Amino acid sequence: MTIHKEGRQLLFILLVILVGLNLLFIYFYPEQDELHYLFMGISLVFYLLILQFFRNPNIMISANERHVIAPADGKVVVIEEVVETEYFKTKRKQISIFMSPVNVHVNRNPVGGVIKYFKYHAGKYLVAWHPKSSTDNERTTIVIQSPSGTEVLFRQIAGALARRIKWYVKEGDKVDQGAEFGFIKFGSRVDILLPLDAEVKVAIGDKTKGGRTVIAELKK
Protein backbone atom coordinates (compact mmCIF):
# COMPACT_ATOMS: atom_id res chain seq x y z
CA MET A 1 0.00 0.00 0.00
CA THR A 2 1.38 3.40 -0.99
CA ILE A 3 0.11 6.98 -1.09
CA HIS A 4 -0.97 8.07 -4.56
CA LYS A 5 1.01 10.90 -6.16
CA GLU A 6 -2.17 13.01 -6.46
CA GLY A 7 -2.40 13.26 -2.69
CA ARG A 8 1.20 13.78 -1.57
CA GLN A 9 1.34 17.57 -1.86
CA LEU A 10 -2.12 18.04 -0.36
CA LEU A 11 -1.33 15.72 2.55
CA PHE A 12 1.94 17.54 3.29
CA ILE A 13 0.24 20.95 3.26
CA LEU A 14 -2.60 19.64 5.41
CA LEU A 15 -0.13 18.17 7.92
CA VAL A 16 1.69 21.51 8.22
CA ILE A 17 -1.61 23.37 8.73
CA LEU A 18 -2.90 20.94 11.38
CA VAL A 19 0.37 20.92 13.30
CA GLY A 20 0.43 24.72 13.17
CA LEU A 21 -3.15 25.00 14.41
CA ASN A 22 -2.43 22.63 17.29
CA LEU A 23 0.67 24.57 18.32
CA LEU A 24 -1.28 27.83 18.20
CA PHE A 25 -4.04 26.28 20.31
CA ILE A 26 -1.50 25.18 22.92
CA TYR A 27 0.17 28.62 22.86
CA PHE A 28 -3.03 30.61 23.38
CA TYR A 29 -4.66 28.14 25.81
CA PRO A 30 -1.74 26.68 27.79
CA GLU A 31 -3.86 25.56 30.75
CA GLN A 32 -6.46 23.58 28.75
CA ASP A 33 -4.86 20.13 28.64
CA GLU A 34 -8.13 18.28 28.01
CA LEU A 35 -8.98 20.58 25.11
CA HIS A 36 -5.46 20.10 23.73
CA TYR A 37 -5.97 16.33 23.58
CA LEU A 38 -9.44 16.73 22.10
CA PHE A 39 -8.21 19.09 19.39
CA MET A 40 -5.27 16.82 18.62
CA GLY A 41 -7.60 13.82 18.38
CA ILE A 42 -9.97 15.61 16.01
CA SER A 43 -7.01 16.72 13.88
CA LEU A 44 -5.65 13.17 13.71
CA VAL A 45 -8.99 11.65 12.72
CA PHE A 46 -9.51 14.32 10.04
CA TYR A 47 -6.02 13.73 8.65
CA LEU A 48 -6.51 9.96 8.52
CA LEU A 49 -9.81 10.42 6.68
CA ILE A 50 -8.11 12.50 4.00
CA LEU A 51 -5.16 10.10 3.92
CA GLN A 52 -7.35 7.10 3.12
CA PHE A 53 -8.74 8.89 0.04
CA PHE A 54 -5.28 8.63 -1.52
CA ARG A 55 -4.28 5.07 -0.70
CA ASN A 56 -2.94 3.12 -3.66
CA PRO A 57 -2.86 -0.64 -3.05
CA ASN A 58 -0.51 -2.91 -4.96
CA ILE A 59 -2.60 -5.43 -6.90
CA MET A 60 -2.00 -8.39 -9.21
CA ILE A 61 -3.58 -8.06 -12.67
CA SER A 62 -4.73 -11.18 -14.55
CA ALA A 63 -5.00 -9.94 -18.15
CA ASN A 64 -7.55 -11.57 -20.44
CA GLU A 65 -8.51 -10.12 -23.84
CA ARG A 66 -12.13 -11.25 -23.51
CA HIS A 67 -12.64 -9.88 -20.04
CA VAL A 68 -13.69 -6.34 -19.15
CA ILE A 69 -12.47 -5.58 -15.66
CA ALA A 70 -13.78 -2.94 -13.28
CA PRO A 71 -12.02 0.41 -13.79
CA ALA A 72 -12.64 1.39 -10.17
CA ASP A 73 -13.48 0.20 -6.68
CA GLY A 74 -17.12 0.86 -5.86
CA LYS A 75 -20.66 -0.40 -6.31
CA VAL A 76 -22.55 -1.22 -9.50
CA VAL A 77 -25.45 1.25 -9.70
CA VAL A 78 -26.54 1.03 -13.36
CA ILE A 79 -26.83 -1.81 -15.90
CA GLU A 80 -28.89 -0.82 -18.92
CA GLU A 81 -29.01 -0.30 -22.67
CA VAL A 82 -28.44 3.31 -23.71
CA VAL A 83 -27.86 5.26 -26.90
CA GLU A 84 -24.28 6.53 -26.79
CA THR A 85 -24.29 9.89 -28.57
CA GLU A 86 -20.69 11.07 -28.40
CA TYR A 87 -18.64 8.40 -30.18
CA PHE A 88 -20.55 5.28 -31.25
CA LYS A 89 -23.93 7.00 -31.80
CA THR A 90 -25.59 3.60 -31.42
CA LYS A 91 -27.00 1.49 -28.60
CA ARG A 92 -24.58 0.12 -26.05
CA LYS A 93 -24.72 -1.74 -22.74
CA GLN A 94 -23.81 0.61 -19.91
CA ILE A 95 -22.40 -0.44 -16.54
CA SER A 96 -21.91 2.35 -14.01
CA ILE A 97 -19.80 2.06 -10.86
CA PHE A 98 -20.27 4.56 -8.03
CA MET A 99 -17.14 5.39 -6.05
CA SER A 100 -17.86 6.51 -2.50
CA PRO A 101 -15.40 8.62 -0.48
CA VAL A 102 -14.14 5.46 1.27
CA ASN A 103 -13.24 3.61 -1.95
CA VAL A 104 -9.82 3.55 -3.59
CA HIS A 105 -9.89 6.37 -6.15
CA VAL A 106 -7.41 4.99 -8.69
CA ASN A 107 -8.93 4.37 -12.15
CA ARG A 108 -7.69 1.44 -14.26
CA ASN A 109 -8.05 0.41 -17.91
CA PRO A 110 -10.94 -2.07 -18.26
CA VAL A 111 -9.31 -3.58 -21.37
CA GLY A 112 -5.92 -3.38 -23.01
CA GLY A 113 -5.24 -1.98 -26.46
CA VAL A 114 -4.87 1.40 -28.15
CA ILE A 115 -6.53 4.66 -27.11
CA LYS A 116 -8.64 5.54 -30.17
CA TYR A 117 -10.45 8.54 -28.68
CA PHE A 118 -10.05 10.90 -25.75
CA LYS A 119 -11.92 14.04 -24.79
CA TYR A 120 -12.26 16.13 -21.64
CA HIS A 121 -15.61 17.84 -21.01
CA ALA A 122 -16.03 20.69 -18.53
CA GLY A 123 -19.42 20.55 -16.85
CA LYS A 124 -21.60 20.64 -13.77
CA TYR A 125 -21.18 18.85 -10.45
CA LEU A 126 -24.46 17.03 -9.97
CA VAL A 127 -24.46 14.15 -7.50
CA ALA A 128 -22.88 11.15 -9.22
CA TRP A 129 -26.07 9.03 -9.17
CA HIS A 130 -28.12 11.73 -10.91
CA PRO A 131 -29.34 10.43 -14.33
CA LYS A 132 -27.87 13.45 -16.14
CA SER A 133 -24.44 13.23 -14.50
CA SER A 134 -23.17 11.09 -17.41
CA THR A 135 -23.86 13.87 -19.91
CA ASP A 136 -23.87 17.10 -17.88
CA ASN A 137 -21.06 16.72 -15.33
CA GLU A 138 -17.36 17.34 -15.70
CA ARG A 139 -16.04 14.16 -17.30
CA THR A 140 -13.60 12.45 -19.62
CA THR A 141 -14.47 10.06 -22.44
CA ILE A 142 -11.95 7.40 -23.41
CA VAL A 143 -12.23 4.66 -26.03
CA ILE A 144 -9.84 1.70 -26.13
CA GLN A 145 -9.69 -0.63 -29.12
CA SER A 146 -8.72 -4.12 -27.98
CA PRO A 147 -6.36 -6.35 -30.03
CA SER A 148 -9.45 -8.14 -31.44
CA GLY A 149 -10.83 -4.82 -32.73
CA THR A 150 -13.61 -4.40 -30.16
CA GLU A 151 -13.96 -0.86 -28.84
CA VAL A 152 -14.86 -0.15 -25.21
CA LEU A 153 -15.81 3.36 -24.07
CA PHE A 154 -15.56 4.53 -20.48
CA ARG A 155 -15.99 7.83 -18.67
CA GLN A 156 -14.66 9.38 -15.49
CA ILE A 157 -17.52 11.47 -14.10
CA ALA A 158 -17.10 14.09 -11.39
CA GLY A 159 -19.71 14.33 -8.65
CA ALA A 160 -20.79 16.85 -6.05
CA LEU A 161 -17.59 16.34 -4.02
CA ALA A 162 -15.19 15.23 -6.74
CA ARG A 163 -14.20 18.34 -8.66
CA ARG A 164 -10.83 17.24 -9.87
CA ILE A 165 -10.43 14.56 -12.54
CA LYS A 166 -6.92 13.48 -13.49
CA TRP A 167 -5.92 11.37 -16.48
CA TYR A 168 -2.61 10.06 -17.78
CA VAL A 169 -3.46 8.89 -21.31
CA LYS A 170 -3.90 10.40 -24.78
CA GLU A 171 -5.02 9.25 -28.21
CA GLY A 172 -2.62 6.79 -29.78
CA ASP A 173 -1.25 5.43 -26.50
CA LYS A 174 -0.95 1.66 -26.16
CA VAL A 175 -2.21 0.65 -22.71
CA ASP A 176 -2.29 -2.51 -20.65
CA GLN A 177 -5.41 -3.95 -19.08
CA GLY A 178 -5.58 -2.99 -15.41
CA ALA A 179 -2.92 -0.29 -15.66
CA GLU A 180 -3.71 3.06 -14.06
CA PHE A 181 -5.16 5.64 -16.45
CA GLY A 182 -6.43 8.27 -14.03
CA PHE A 183 -7.68 9.35 -10.64
CA ILE A 184 -10.83 11.07 -9.35
CA LYS A 185 -10.38 12.94 -6.08
CA PHE A 186 -12.92 12.21 -3.33
CA GLY A 187 -15.07 9.71 -5.20
CA SER A 188 -17.55 9.83 -8.05
CA ARG A 189 -18.58 7.50 -10.86
CA VAL A 190 -17.21 5.59 -13.84
CA ASP A 191 -19.39 4.51 -16.80
CA ILE A 192 -18.38 1.66 -19.12
CA LEU A 193 -20.16 1.25 -22.46
CA LEU A 194 -19.93 -2.15 -24.12
CA PRO A 195 -21.15 -3.88 -27.30
CA LEU A 196 -24.70 -5.19 -27.00
CA ASP A 197 -23.51 -8.80 -27.23
CA ALA A 198 -21.17 -8.45 -24.25
CA GLU A 199 -22.08 -10.77 -21.39
CA VAL A 200 -22.49 -8.83 -18.14
CA LYS A 201 -20.99 -10.63 -15.15
CA VAL A 202 -22.19 -8.34 -12.34
CA ALA A 203 -25.55 -7.26 -10.91
CA ILE A 204 -26.90 -4.03 -9.44
CA GLY A 205 -25.50 -3.58 -5.97
CA ASP A 206 -22.40 -5.72 -6.49
CA LYS A 207 -19.14 -4.39 -5.05
CA THR A 208 -16.21 -4.10 -7.46
CA LYS A 209 -12.45 -3.99 -7.10
CA GLY A 210 -10.61 -1.92 -9.69
CA GLY A 211 -8.34 -4.03 -11.89
CA ARG A 212 -9.65 -7.31 -10.44
CA THR A 213 -13.43 -7.72 -10.74
CA VAL A 214 -14.58 -9.05 -14.12
CA ILE A 215 -17.68 -7.02 -14.98
CA ALA A 216 -18.30 -8.36 -18.51
CA GLU A 217 -17.05 -10.76 -21.16
CA LEU A 218 -16.65 -9.79 -24.80
CA LYS A 219 -17.77 -12.15 -27.56
CA LYS A 220 -14.69 -11.64 -29.69
Strand partners, 90: 84
Compute the CA torsion angle 96, 197, 136, 50 (nearest 10 deg). Answer: 20
Which uninterrupted H or E stretch holds 15? helix 5-28
Q: Which of 43, 96, 134, 188 is flagged as catalytic?
A: 188
Judge contact between 55 and 4, C-beta under 8 A: yes
Strand partners, 76: 97
Separation of alpha carbons 15 and 5, rounded Å = 16
Residue type, 140: T
134 annotated active-site: no
| Active site (catalytic) residues | 188
